Amino acid sequence: MFDEAEDAGVNLVGADDFTLKDIRLSVAAAIQQWVESDDLSEGESSADRLLALMIGIADENHDGEITDDEQGVLDMALNAAWDYLEAKGVSGEDVDALLNDWDGDVADRVRDLVASVLPEGEDESASDIDNFAFGENDQEPALDAAYKMKMAIRKGKKMRIRKRVSGTVRLSAAQKVGLRKARMKSHSATARMRRAKSMRIRRKTGLK
Protein backbone atom coordinates (compact mmCIF):
# COMPACT_ATOMS: atom_id res chain seq x y z
CA MET A 1 0.00 0.00 0.00
CA PHE A 2 1.19 3.57 -0.73
CA ASP A 3 2.99 5.01 2.30
CA GLU A 4 2.44 8.77 2.42
CA ALA A 5 4.90 9.27 5.27
CA GLU A 6 7.64 7.43 3.42
CA ASP A 7 6.91 9.36 0.24
CA ALA A 8 7.06 12.65 2.14
CA GLY A 9 10.46 11.67 3.49
CA VAL A 10 11.73 10.91 0.00
CA ASN A 11 10.41 14.26 -1.22
CA LEU A 12 12.21 16.06 1.61
CA VAL A 13 15.46 14.33 0.76
CA GLY A 14 14.99 15.30 -2.88
CA ALA A 15 14.28 18.91 -1.95
CA ASP A 16 17.29 18.91 0.35
CA ASP A 17 19.51 17.61 -2.44
CA PHE A 18 18.13 20.18 -4.90
CA THR A 19 18.77 23.00 -2.43
CA LEU A 20 22.40 22.02 -1.94
CA LYS A 21 23.10 21.55 -5.65
CA ASP A 22 21.47 24.90 -6.48
CA ILE A 23 23.63 26.65 -3.89
CA ARG A 24 26.76 24.91 -5.17
CA LEU A 25 25.93 26.06 -8.71
CA SER A 26 25.60 29.63 -7.49
CA VAL A 27 28.80 29.47 -5.46
CA ALA A 28 30.98 28.11 -8.25
CA ALA A 29 29.62 30.72 -10.65
CA ALA A 30 30.13 33.48 -8.07
CA ILE A 31 33.76 32.50 -7.47
CA GLN A 32 34.43 32.41 -11.21
CA GLN A 33 32.88 35.86 -11.51
CA TRP A 34 34.92 37.06 -8.53
CA VAL A 35 38.13 35.96 -10.23
CA GLU A 36 37.12 37.91 -13.35
CA SER A 37 36.19 41.08 -11.44
CA ASP A 38 38.20 44.15 -12.41
CA ASP A 39 35.85 46.87 -11.20
CA LEU A 40 36.58 47.12 -7.48
CA SER A 41 35.45 50.40 -5.98
CA GLU A 42 37.77 52.67 -4.04
CA GLY A 43 38.35 51.09 -0.65
CA GLU A 44 36.83 47.76 -1.72
CA SER A 45 39.10 44.73 -1.42
CA SER A 46 38.85 41.41 -3.25
CA ALA A 47 37.66 39.92 0.03
CA ASP A 48 34.88 42.52 0.22
CA ARG A 49 33.74 41.62 -3.30
CA LEU A 50 33.66 37.89 -2.58
CA LEU A 51 31.71 38.45 0.63
CA ALA A 52 29.20 40.59 -1.28
CA LEU A 53 28.72 37.84 -3.87
CA MET A 54 28.20 35.23 -1.15
CA ILE A 55 25.71 37.46 0.68
CA GLY A 56 23.90 38.07 -2.60
CA ILE A 57 23.30 34.32 -2.96
CA ALA A 58 21.44 34.28 0.36
CA ASP A 59 19.87 37.77 0.44
CA GLU A 60 17.91 37.55 -2.79
CA ASN A 61 15.75 40.60 -2.12
CA HIS A 62 18.90 42.61 -1.42
CA ASP A 63 17.38 44.39 1.54
CA GLY A 64 20.63 44.05 3.45
CA GLU A 65 19.00 42.27 6.38
CA ILE A 66 20.19 38.68 6.89
CA THR A 67 17.44 36.60 8.49
CA ASP A 68 18.10 33.32 10.29
CA ASP A 69 17.05 31.34 7.21
CA GLU A 70 19.24 33.50 4.96
CA GLN A 71 22.12 33.01 7.38
CA GLY A 72 21.58 29.26 6.99
CA VAL A 73 21.82 29.59 3.21
CA LEU A 74 24.89 31.81 3.58
CA ASP A 75 26.59 29.21 5.77
CA MET A 76 25.88 26.54 3.16
CA ALA A 77 27.25 28.84 0.47
CA LEU A 78 30.43 29.58 2.42
CA ASN A 79 31.05 25.91 3.13
CA ALA A 80 30.51 25.17 -0.56
CA ALA A 81 32.97 27.96 -1.37
CA TRP A 82 35.44 26.27 0.98
CA ASP A 83 35.04 23.01 -0.98
CA TYR A 84 35.44 24.77 -4.33
CA LEU A 85 38.54 26.71 -3.33
CA GLU A 86 40.24 23.69 -1.79
CA ALA A 87 39.48 21.72 -4.96
CA LYS A 88 41.36 24.42 -6.88
CA GLY A 89 44.43 23.94 -4.70
CA VAL A 90 43.95 26.67 -2.09
CA SER A 91 45.31 25.66 1.31
CA GLY A 92 42.93 25.18 4.23
CA GLU A 93 44.74 27.96 6.11
CA ASP A 94 44.18 30.46 3.31
CA VAL A 95 40.55 29.44 2.87
CA ASP A 96 40.03 29.89 6.61
CA ALA A 97 41.63 33.35 6.59
CA LEU A 98 39.53 34.34 3.60
CA LEU A 99 36.09 32.99 4.49
CA ASN A 100 36.22 33.58 8.25
CA ASP A 101 38.40 36.70 8.53
CA TRP A 102 37.93 38.16 5.03
CA ASP A 103 41.64 38.99 4.86
CA GLY A 104 42.27 41.24 1.86
CA ASP A 105 45.88 40.15 1.25
CA VAL A 106 44.89 36.48 1.37
CA ALA A 107 42.00 37.22 -0.98
CA ASP A 108 44.40 38.59 -3.60
CA ARG A 109 46.63 35.54 -3.29
CA VAL A 110 43.69 33.11 -3.51
CA ARG A 111 42.21 34.98 -6.46
CA ASP A 112 45.47 34.77 -8.39
CA LEU A 113 45.83 31.06 -7.67
CA VAL A 114 42.28 30.22 -8.70
CA ALA A 115 42.62 32.32 -11.85
CA SER A 116 45.68 30.29 -12.83
CA VAL A 117 43.83 26.96 -12.67
CA LEU A 118 40.35 27.81 -13.94
CA PRO A 119 39.55 26.37 -17.37
CA GLU A 120 39.50 28.74 -20.32
CA GLY A 121 36.49 29.19 -22.56
CA GLU A 122 32.78 29.55 -21.86
CA ASP A 123 31.93 25.87 -22.30
CA GLU A 124 34.83 24.72 -20.15
CA SER A 125 33.95 27.19 -17.40
CA ALA A 126 30.33 26.06 -17.51
CA SER A 127 31.40 22.42 -17.21
CA ASP A 128 33.53 23.32 -14.21
CA ILE A 129 30.47 24.83 -12.49
CA ASP A 130 28.29 21.82 -13.30
CA ASN A 131 30.91 19.30 -12.22
CA PHE A 132 31.24 21.00 -8.86
CA ALA A 133 27.49 21.02 -8.27
CA PHE A 134 26.64 17.59 -9.64
CA GLY A 135 29.87 15.64 -9.33
CA GLU A 136 29.99 12.62 -7.08
CA ASN A 137 31.05 13.56 -3.56
CA ASP A 138 30.15 12.78 -0.01
CA GLN A 139 28.06 15.84 0.74
CA GLU A 140 26.43 16.41 4.08
CA PRO A 141 22.68 16.90 3.71
CA ALA A 142 21.91 20.56 3.12
CA LEU A 143 19.50 20.81 6.03
CA ASP A 144 22.18 19.55 8.41
CA ALA A 145 24.53 22.19 7.06
CA ALA A 146 21.89 24.87 7.50
CA TYR A 147 20.56 24.07 10.96
CA LYS A 148 23.57 22.53 12.68
CA MET A 149 25.94 25.23 11.60
CA LYS A 150 28.20 25.63 14.60
CA MET A 151 28.76 22.09 15.85
CA ALA A 152 27.81 19.72 13.04
CA ILE A 153 30.40 17.15 12.13
CA ARG A 154 31.34 17.34 8.48
CA LYS A 155 33.69 14.69 7.13
CA GLY A 156 35.08 14.18 10.62
CA LYS A 157 35.54 17.89 11.38
CA LYS A 158 33.49 20.62 12.96
CA MET A 159 31.85 23.04 10.60
CA ARG A 160 34.49 25.33 9.20
CA ILE A 161 32.55 28.60 8.96
CA ARG A 162 32.60 30.15 12.42
CA LYS A 163 31.33 33.69 12.01
CA ARG A 164 27.92 35.15 11.31
CA VAL A 165 27.30 38.24 9.22
CA SER A 166 25.78 40.92 11.42
CA GLY A 167 24.17 44.26 10.76
CA THR A 168 22.82 45.58 7.49
CA VAL A 169 24.84 44.70 4.38
CA ARG A 170 24.07 46.84 1.34
CA LEU A 171 25.52 45.77 -1.98
CA SER A 172 27.03 48.43 -4.21
CA ALA A 173 25.99 48.85 -7.83
CA ALA A 174 29.15 47.09 -9.02
CA GLN A 175 28.60 44.22 -6.60
CA LYS A 176 25.04 43.78 -7.84
CA VAL A 177 26.30 43.70 -11.43
CA GLY A 178 28.81 41.02 -10.45
CA LEU A 179 26.03 39.02 -8.82
CA ARG A 180 23.86 39.24 -11.95
CA LYS A 181 26.77 38.08 -14.11
CA ALA A 182 27.40 35.15 -11.77
CA ARG A 183 23.75 34.16 -11.93
CA MET A 184 23.84 34.24 -15.72
CA LYS A 185 26.72 31.77 -15.60
CA SER A 186 24.71 29.24 -13.60
CA HIS A 187 20.99 29.95 -14.03
CA SER A 188 20.43 31.44 -17.47
CA ALA A 189 18.21 29.60 -19.94
CA THR A 190 21.32 28.71 -21.95
CA ALA A 191 23.06 27.26 -18.91
CA ARG A 192 20.00 25.24 -17.94
CA MET A 193 19.50 23.81 -21.42
CA ARG A 194 23.18 22.91 -21.73
CA ARG A 195 22.98 21.18 -18.37
CA ALA A 196 19.84 19.27 -19.37
CA LYS A 197 21.48 18.08 -22.60
CA SER A 198 24.57 17.01 -20.70
CA MET A 199 22.51 15.02 -18.22
CA ARG A 200 20.63 13.28 -21.02
CA ILE A 201 23.93 12.27 -22.58
CA ARG A 202 25.22 11.00 -19.23
CA ARG A 203 22.08 8.89 -18.73
CA LYS A 204 22.35 7.42 -22.24
CA THR A 205 25.96 6.43 -21.63
CA GLY A 206 25.13 4.88 -18.27
CA LEU A 207 26.66 7.63 -16.17
CA LYS A 208 24.81 9.01 -13.12
Instruction: Give pLDDT tens digits for 23-50.
Output: 999 999 999 999 999 999 999 999 999 9
* Average pLDDT of adjacent 10-residue blocks, the chain of 208 residues: 41 63 93 94 94 91 83 91 96 95 96 95 89 68 44 49 76 90 78 63 56
Rounded-to-integer distance, Cα 184 and Cα 114, Å: 20
Decide if 157 contacts 76 (C-beta within 8 A): no
In a domain, 3, yes or no: no
**Whole-number pLDDT of residue 63:** 81
In a domain, 182, yes or no: yes
**Whole-number pLDDT of residue 18:** 78
In a domain, 1, yes or no: no
In a domain, 173, yes or no: yes
pTM of the model: 0.76
For residue 104, what are the domain limits?
A: 8-204
In a domain, 2, yes or no: no
Which amino acid type is present at position 136? Answer: E
In a domain, 128, yes or no: yes
In a domain, 123, yes or no: yes
**Whole-number pLDDT of residue 61:** 76
Count up the domains in the chain and report the number: 1
Q: Could you write out the DSSP letters of every residue in 14-73?
A: HHHHHHHHHHHHHHHHHHHHHHH---PPTT--HHHHHHHHHHHHH-TT--SB--HHHHHH
**Whole-number pLDDT of residue 149:** 41
CA distances to 43, 64, 86, 201 from 29, rounded to whole Å, are 24, 21, 16, 23
